[in-house]
C-alpha cells in the first residue's frame, strides 16, 4: 500500500512529498528500536513515539519506507534531512500508538 493512503487530518507529512509514493507492507509498532531491528518485516511501516535520529537509522537498517511518530512528539530537522536523503516518509500525529493502529485498521489499511 502506498504511504499516501495513510494521509488524513490526523497525520502531518514532515518529509518530502515524494516519499508518499513509496509502498509499505504491514506495520510494526514498538518503542524499542532494537525490537524493530529484530522483528519488523521487510518494508513494514514503523509506528513509534521515539523521535530521534536513531529512529531513521533503524528504518534504514530494516528497509522501512514509512515512520509514524506518535503522541505529538517533535521531529527534528536532522531527522527530516536524513529521511529525505534515504527516501523515508515521516508522518507525525497527536494520536497515541495504539490509536494509530486502530485508525489504520478501521480504515482498512491493515
Domains of the chain, each with CATH number or no CATH: 3-106 (3.40.1390.20)
Instruction: Give the global pTM.
Output: 0.95
Q: What angle do CA 18, 34, 37 make, to 5 degrees?
A: 50
73-103: pLDDT as tens digits: 999 999 999 999 999 999 999 999 999 999 9
Cell representation of residue 40: 519488523
Measured CA to CA, the distance from residue 37 to residue 58 in angstroms comes to: 7
Q: How confident is the model at residue 12 (pLDDT cuts 50, 70, 90)?
A: very high
Q: What is the rounded end-to-end Cα distance, in angstroms, of the chain?
A: 9
Amino acid at each position: 500500500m502506498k504511504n499516501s493512503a495513510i494521509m488524513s487530518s490526523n497525520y502531518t507529512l514532515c518529509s518530502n512529498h515524494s516519499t508518499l509514493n513509496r509502498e509499505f507492507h504491514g506495520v510494526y509498532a514498538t518503542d524499542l528500536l532494537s525490537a524493530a531491528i529484530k522483528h519488523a518485516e521487510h518494508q513494514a511501516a514503523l509506528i513509534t513515539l521515539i523521535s530521534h535520529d536513531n529512529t531513521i537509522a533503524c528504518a534504514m537498517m530494516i528497509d522501512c519506507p514509512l515512520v509514524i511518530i506518535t503522541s505529538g512528539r517533535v521531529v527534528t530537522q536532522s531527522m527530516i534531512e536524513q529521511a529525505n536523503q534515504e527516501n523515508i516518509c515521516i508522518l507525525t500525529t497527536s494520536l497515541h500508538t495504539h490509536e494509530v493502529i486502530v485508525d489504520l485498521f478501521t480504515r482498512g489499511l491493515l
